[in-house]
């Protein structure tokens, strides 16, 4: 049995199994793991759970995740995972608290109301940092600041970003979706366009870059953004090969601002898949 298959089996059990799942096969950096005392058995694990009740919560939340999400999570130290999780959750406190969380889960099953509008939207206009494809673009302040940092880094490498789509109102998304349905039918439209109330764009934290076409990913700009976005807090929302998870076809141009800390957490523990991380955080906060 491989380490990964052991992990997937273990997380279906008790809190003790969750602890074992993270720690049994993990090797501390720079040294060999110490052998566990023969007398420890599951008693030592139970003691650890008693010392940190969050391990039991971790087991419950992991148990609720999809098989593919479980498969993406590596073996490791559960205490380290929880420490990283709390660092990410604490990061929310550095952002404004009177709006939806930057980690708000929105997808085909999780909606926002038709009246939701992000607070203090900032206009995104042509400037010395980026170009825009239209004049009615805007972002939440946190995402705007993140776009500034990303654009400065791109300029330093000789690339000026093209911002093509940002915040969309419920009504705008409704018109857009209905147009695609008229052109391609509901089944196909739902693979590449969000129904109103389910779009990351309505949160004011998502940006579509460049031409909004698949070949943009092969351009100099596309390759640069893909390689560097996470360094400035931007996460690819709809990666290739994950339509069954995200609900949408690959979109190489669509990035969501979540902050640098969350990007690191996503890469370290969730196979760098945004949907997995947000589903976990949502389940954790609701448990």
Is 67:8 a contact under the CB 8 Å cutoff? yes
For the chain, how many residues are written? 287
Q: Are strands 254-257 and 234-236 parallel, antiparallel or unpaired?
A: antiparallel
Query: What are 48-90's pLDDT values in tens digits?
Result: 566 788 999 999 999 999 999 999 999 889 999 999 999 999 9
Query: What are 201-256's pLDDT values in tens digits?
Result: 999 999 999 999 999 999 999 999 999 999 999 999 999 999 999 999 999 999 99
- pLDDT average, residue stretch 33-48: 46
Q: Pick from 79, 9, 7: which is nearest to 45 by CA?
A: 79
- pLDDT average, residue stretch 150-167: 99
pLDDT of residue 45: 52
In sequence order, what E strands does the chain have?
122-124, 130-132, 137-139, 161-165, 206-209, 234-236, 254-257
Stronger pLDDT, 286 or 19, i.e. the higher one: 286
pTM, two decimal places: 0.86
Q: Which CATH number fits domain 122-257: 3.90.1150.10, 1.25.40.10, 3.65.10.10, 3.30.1380.10?
A: 3.30.1380.10
Tokens of 47: 């003691």
pLDDT at residue 22 is higher than 90:
no
Which of 44-58, 79-93, 95-109, 177-191 is least confident? 44-58
Tokens of 133: 């494809």
User: What pLDDT band is residue 150 in, cutting at 50, 70 and 90?
Assistant: very high
pLDDT of residue 98: 86
Which residues have CB under 8 Å from 57's CB, separation 6+?
A: 284, 287
pLDDT at residue 193 is higher than 90:
yes
Q: Pick from 103, 147, 134, 100: which is nearest to 120 by CA?
A: 100
Q: Pick from 210, 222, 206, 233: which is nearest to 131 by CA?
A: 210
**What residue ranges do the domains of the chain occupy?**
3-94, 122-257
Please identify which residue in the block is written with the tokens 């129904």: 195
Q: What is the four-CA torsion angle of 265, 266, 269, 271, rounded to 10 degrees?
A: -150
How open is the CA angle 83-84-86, to the nearest 5 degrees? 65
């Amino acid at each position: 049995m491989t380490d990964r298959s052991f992990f997937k089996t273990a997380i279906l059990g008790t809190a003790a199994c969750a602890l074992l799942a993270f720690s049994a096969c993990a090797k501390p950096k720079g040294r060999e793991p110490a052998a566990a005392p023969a007398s420890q058995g599951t008693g030592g694990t139970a003691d650890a759970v008693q010392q940190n009740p969050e391990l039991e919560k971790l087991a419950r939340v992991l148990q609720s995740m999809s098989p593919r999400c479980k498969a993406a999570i590596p073996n490791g130290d559960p205490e380290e995972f929880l420490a990283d999780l709390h660092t990410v959750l604490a990061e929310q406190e550095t952002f404004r608290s009177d709006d939806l969380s930057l980690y708000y889960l929105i997808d085909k099953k999780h909606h926002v109301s038709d009246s939701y509008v992000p607070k203090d939207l900032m206009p995104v206009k042509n400037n010395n940092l980026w170009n825009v494809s239209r004049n009615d673009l805007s972002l939440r302040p946190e995402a705007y600041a993140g776009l500034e940092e990303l654009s400065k880094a791109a300029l330093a490498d000789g690339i000026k970003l093209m911002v093509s789509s940002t915040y969309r109102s419920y009504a705008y998304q409704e018109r857009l979706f209905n147009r695609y349905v008229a052109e391609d039918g509901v089944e196909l439209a739902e693979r590449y366009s969000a129904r109103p109330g389910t779009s990351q764009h309505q949160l004011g934290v998502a940006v579509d870059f460049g031409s909004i076409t698949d070949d943009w990913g092969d351009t100099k700009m596309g390759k640069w953004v893909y390689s560097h976005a996470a360094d400035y807090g931007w996460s690819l929302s709809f990666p290739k090969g994950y339509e069954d998870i995200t609900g949408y076809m690959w979109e190489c141009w669509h990035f969501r601002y979540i902050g640098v800390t969350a990007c690191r957490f996503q890469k370290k523990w969730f196979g760098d898949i945004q949907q997995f991380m947000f589903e976990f955080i949502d389940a954790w906060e609701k448990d």
